[in-house]
Structure 1
Amino acid sequence: MLTYTPVSEAGGVGKTTTAATLAASHARAGQNVLIIDMDTQNGSLTYFFGPEYDRGDPNVDNLVRHLVGRPKGEFHDLAHTVEDGIDLIPSHNMLEDVHEFLLNEKTQAEKLGESYSMYHQLHRVLKDANVRDQYDVLIVDSAGKAGPILYNALVAVRNVVIPFEATAKGQESIEGLDDLVDGLEGSIGVDVGVLAVVPIGFKNTRDQREILAELRESGFPVPVVIGERGSLMEGCWKQQCSPYRYIDEHRERKRDYELDTLEQFDTLARHLEQEAGLKIPEVTA
């Protein structure tokens, strides 16, 4: 099974659109994909695909209830099929208080003389639900900052894909993430691998070329470089669908540079699948 979370400490680098586009590419290649939205504020991935779901309803079953051991139903009932081959577990407003919920569970467990890890609850939920038997790919769109949500995501998937802005600020975010992953591995004993660093909005300036060269020299895997495609992604947000569906259904004329972008994402998705040892079927037309 291929499992990963797109992570970046810098905002606005395309973390959610990277998750959504890769999910669609995996699905088009015949993989069964589960994506989990753990965005604590905007529920961006949930909005992106637009399932009928009220994330503010306190009575509806949601991921947080499962994380704290108080589900109202089966885990798989949380999933919404949003495109062919893609199931989404949407974000819920309870995620904003998940730290407090998990801390309360930890306190109660310790009073009973039981061990409890706040950071292993998503892993537990996925294992109990036999997610590996149901899906080929798991992508968790998590919070960007350090904390229980990001840590739960990392412990569960053990791999990261890093959308990267080729600027000095972006370079700092890579170094900060390296420190974050090292700290997590040291304190919890979980190895976290970097599957790919993905330069987004690359304009091929001299400074960007230098940063890209330094990035590759540092040993990070950089399978593809994605150019500036703001209008394509804005259209996807407006129509609440993946770029593949957007071009197929909402573009009267297909633009070569947009098709090139999708080819880059397909190349990245095949790279990630190969890293996990997944069989790669033919991509649908």
Structure 2
Amino acid sequence: MKRAVTLWSESGGVGKTTLATNTAAALGRRGADVLVVDLDPQLGSLTDHVGYGELKTGDRDHLGDVLLAEDRDASDLVVDAGAFDLIPSHEGLANIESEMAARGTNLREFRLRSALTPLAGEYDYFLVDPPATLNVLVDNALVAARDVVIPIELTRKGSVSIDGLEDTLDSMQRGFQTFDEDFRLGILAVVPNEVGDSNIYREVREQLETDGKPVTPFGIRKRDVLKQAWQAQMDLFTFAESEETRDLRDYEKDLLEQFETVARVIEEGSVEAATPEEVAR
């Protein structure tokens, strides 16, 4: 499988799905073939963001069916979301853990990886957006996409959450190594999200850098235009080009540059691809 990344945080409300949507769009607009897998059955997931919310309900084939049955083809679920392709989420995923337990599903954490492997030749990048809650969907995301991009609040709580996430990833890595001794999980980048100007933001960033965390040299600010793009069911790049949209202000255009930079981090596999000079604001 080509480069696959999970965007994950154990904390909700940190802009994970917005980051995933716009990073995927940035990669696609850079000429890459991108497949996004939405594993979050809750309302307000990436599937809703890009206008496919109707696929999350009803009696139709969905990703849960693929995870439960090895003979199901994930490619049948793919829809065109503009700059990237999408395997949409479905409300049925909320019960996937109990269904796997009832069926005695073997190697249940590896089901998504197995389902995506036949698609490896069609895509340059796979981005997986799981729910924040630790469960079998997160396990599947991390097994399928072992590089993790973490959005974080630049607060004391956010700083502590990174340490907790590292402990969680270390524990998962040791557990999965019982099946595959070469299994590795790693944090590719920590992306400060919904950033403001107070001293606490600067202090937490400095502490993260001192601790050697792979934090990007910029933070994505909380802007109303991100909510407006969501309401329009578009990624920010498409929203900015829409005929109904006013021209973005300069400080809003900075968001586009920052999502482009996160895309470049994924392309090059290192947070060093985001240099302070290129993204300084």
TM-score, scaled relative to structure 1: 0.87
Cα pair 2:15 2:194 within 8 Å, conserved: no
**Residue pair 2:148, 2:187 contacting (<8 A) in 1 also:** yes
- SS of the counterpart of 1:119? helix
Gaps of 5+ in 2: 178-182, 271-281
The answer to whether structure 1 residue 230 and structure 2 residue 223 are counterparts is: yes
Write the distance in 2 (CA, Å) between the matches of 1:52 and 1:144. Answer: 19
Structure-1 residue corresponding to 2:42:
41
SS at match of 1:146: coil
Matched with 1:145 is 133
Alignment of 1:208-223 (within 5 A): 208-223=201-216
The one-letter code of the counterpart of 1:11 is: G
Give the distance between the partners of 2:103 and 2:121, measured in 1 at CA: 28
Q: Is the 8 A contact 2:195 2:222 kept in 1?
A: no
Matched, 1:260 2:254: yes
**Structure 1: runs of 5+ lacking an equivalent:** 108-115, 277-285
State TM-score, norm by structure 2. 0.89
After TM superposition, the structure 1 stretch with the greater mean CA deviation from structure 2, 29-38 or 187-196, is 187-196
Counterpart mapping for 1:147-226 below 5 A = 147-189=135-177, 190-226=183-219
Distance 1:5 1:187 in 2: 18
User: What's the secondary structure of 1:201's corresponding residue?
Assistant: strand
Name the SS of the counterpart of 1:150 in structure 2: helix
When the two chains are superposed, the root-mean-square deviation of aligned CA atoms in Å is 1.7
CA drift at 1:43:
5.4
- Cα shift at 1:70: 6.5
Output the amino acid matched with 1:79: V
1:121 aligned onto 2:111: yes
What is the match of residue 240 of structure 1? 233
Aligned length: 263
Q: Which residue of 1 aligns with 2:88?
A: 90
Partner of 1:110: none
* Partner residue, 1:25: 26
Determine what percentage of the aligned residue pairs are the same residue.
35
Highest relative contact order (Cα 8 Å, sep 6+), 1 or 2?
A: 1
Report if aligned partners of 1:19, 1:141 keep a CA contact under 8 Å in 2. yes
Deviation per residue, 1:71-103 (Å, 9 max, x gap) = 6x632120110113x111111111011001211
The C-alpha deviation readout for 1:34-82, integer Å capped at 9, x for no partner, is: 0011113225101000127432213x111111111166x6321201101
Task: Kindly state the Cα deviation for residue 168 of structure 1 after the two structures are TM-superposed.
Answer: 1.1
